[in-house]
């Protein structure tokens, strides 16, 4: 069976961008592949080193979002990155196989550095600049075949393939060159404000755990056609976030909405009420499951502990093989 490794940074509860962009797909993939899902707390610290509480608080939030969304702990192994020491070790060894100029050409990292001037003050840290190497270690320490991710992560998988190739050619064949699995549709969900990416830091997200009141309040302040001031003004559904989410959540009267809006026969309040109802219903089972989990934290801890232990076994055996290839297997001296 082919193996999947994927992951998320625990920097906040998961939102509908994660759900449509990756979670929904993972729920299907877990039936077909041996699946590992990494809660990347070490990577989260690369841009939250000054806020460790935030990362810690969100680890279990993310586990709960996974389970509530249909990730089945019998099929998918949920793993805490900081407990997998093989990843930290491989990161060091892989850092010899990547040049600084190669790292500086990563478009996703470039974009992130631009957004984080407040944190890095024009002087990015070694840890953040190099996190793609650590992400390659995430993937290769499991020797994964497939990595389901959003399109912004494609450069990371490309680098992982290069590192695997380089390792194999210098030290001998060990690692697969993993393939990215990028959904064509909904790979990036827009934010409530119309921004091209839904994200916690942009404060434009609908969370899986949001209450019905929170959903309502968010939808009623979402970005709509600014030229449509009155109910009877003709509107432009393209670019309207309410119309956009109606499409994503599969509203059945989408064509009707479009014609009526274009003709000025439909007001925004009506659309917003209908969308609120649709989203509240859609997310209800997830929200209810999540409330149950919040009341049974020992169960959540057990899932994370069991998953992490299983991953420790697998990754330490792959690390050992890597060390043998690199001629740093000194078991004959130390393991006597």
Binding interface with ligand TRP (CB under 6 A): 5-9, 38, 40, 43, 135, 138-139, 147, 149, 153
Least distance in Å: CB of 37 to ligand TRP?
Answer: 9
Angle at 188 between CA 182 and CA 190, to 5 degrees: 170
User: What's the CA gap between 253 and 272, in Å, rounded?
Assistant: 14
Least distance in Å: CB of 103 to ligand TRP?
Answer: 15
Helix (H) / strand (E) containing 206? none
Phi-psi bin for 199: left (phi > 0), alpha (psi -120 to 50), beta?
beta
Q: Are 178 and 145 in contact (CB under 8 A)?
A: yes
Angle at 170 between CA 169 and CA 175, to 5 degrees: 55
Q: Which is nearer to ligand TRP, 69 or 276 (CB)?
A: 69
Least distance in Å: CB of 39 to ligand TRP?
Answer: 9
Q: Which is nearer to ligand TRP, 153 or 176 (CB)?
A: 153
Q: Which is nearer to ligand TRP, 43 or 48 (CB)?
A: 43
Tokens 């080193």 belong to residue: 49
Q: Which is nearer to ligand TRP, 16 or 261 (CB)?
A: 16
Q: Are 170 and 187 in contact (CB under 8 A)?
A: no
b (16+ CB within 10 A) / e for 105-122 = ebeebeebbeeeeebbee
Angle at 56 between CA 291 and CA 88, to 5 degrees: 130
Least distance in Å: CB of 144 to ligand TRP?
Answer: 8
Q: Which is nearer to ligand TRP, 30 or 135 (CB)?
A: 135
Q: Which is nearer to ligand TRP, 153 or 276 (CB)?
A: 153
Q: Which is nearer to ligand TRP, 6 or 48 (CB)?
A: 6
SS3 content of the chain, % helix, strand, coil (to 5): 55, 5, 35
Least distance in Å: CB of 251 to ligand TRP?
Answer: 28
Q: Which is nearer to ligand TRP, 40 or 59 (CB)?
A: 40
Least distance in Å: CB of 43 to ligand TRP?
Answer: 5
Residue 180 dihedral angles phi and psi, to the nearest 5°:
-75, 145
User: What's the CA gap between 312 and 319, in Å, rounded?
Assistant: 10
Least distance in Å: CB of 147 to ligand TRP?
Answer: 5
Least distance in Å: CB of 111 to ligand TRP?
Answer: 12
């Amino acid at each position: 069976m082919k193996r999947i490794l994927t992951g998320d940074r625990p920097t906040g509860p998961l939102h509908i961008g994660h759900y449509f962009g990756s979670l929904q797909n993972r729920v299907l993939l877990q039936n077909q592949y041996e699946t590992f899902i990494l809660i990347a707390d070490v990577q989260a610290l690369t841009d939250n080193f000054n806020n460790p509480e935030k990362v810690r608080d969100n680890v279990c939030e993310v586990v709960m979002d996974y389970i509530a969304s249909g990730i089945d702990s019998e099929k998918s192994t949920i793993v805490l990155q900081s407990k997998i020491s093989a990843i930290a070790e491989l990161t060091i060894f892989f850092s010899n196989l990547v040049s600084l100029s190669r790292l500086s050409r990563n478009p996703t990292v470039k974009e992130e550095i631009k957004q984080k001037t407040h944190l890095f003050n024009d002087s990015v840290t070694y840890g953040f600049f190099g996190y793609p190497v650590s992400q390659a270690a995430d993937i290769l320490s499991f020797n994964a075949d497939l990595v389901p991710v959003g399109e912004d992560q494609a450069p990371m998988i490309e680098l992982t393939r290069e590192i695997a190739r380089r390792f194999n050619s210098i030290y001998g064949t060990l690692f697969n060159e993993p393939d990215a699995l990028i959904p064509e549709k909904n790979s990036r969900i827009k934010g409530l404000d119309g921004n091209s990416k839904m994200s916690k830091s942009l404060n434009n997200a609908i969370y899986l755990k949001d209450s019905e009141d929170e959903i309502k309040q968010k939808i009623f302040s979402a970005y709509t056609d600014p030229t449509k001031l009155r109910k009877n003004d003709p509107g432009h559904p393209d670019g309207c976030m309410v119309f956009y989410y109606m499409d994503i959540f599969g509203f059945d009267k989408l064509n009707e909405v479009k014609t009526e809006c274009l003709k000025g026969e439909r007001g925004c309040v009506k659309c917003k009420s209908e969308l609120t109802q649709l989203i509240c219903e859609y997310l209800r089972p997830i929200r209810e499951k999540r409330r149950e989990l919040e009341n049974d934290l020992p169960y959540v801890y057990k899932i994370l502990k069991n998953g992490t232990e299983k991953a420790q076994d697998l990754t330490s055996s792959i690390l050992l093989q890597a060390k043998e290839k690199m001629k740093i297997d000194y078991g004959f001296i130390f393991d006597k």
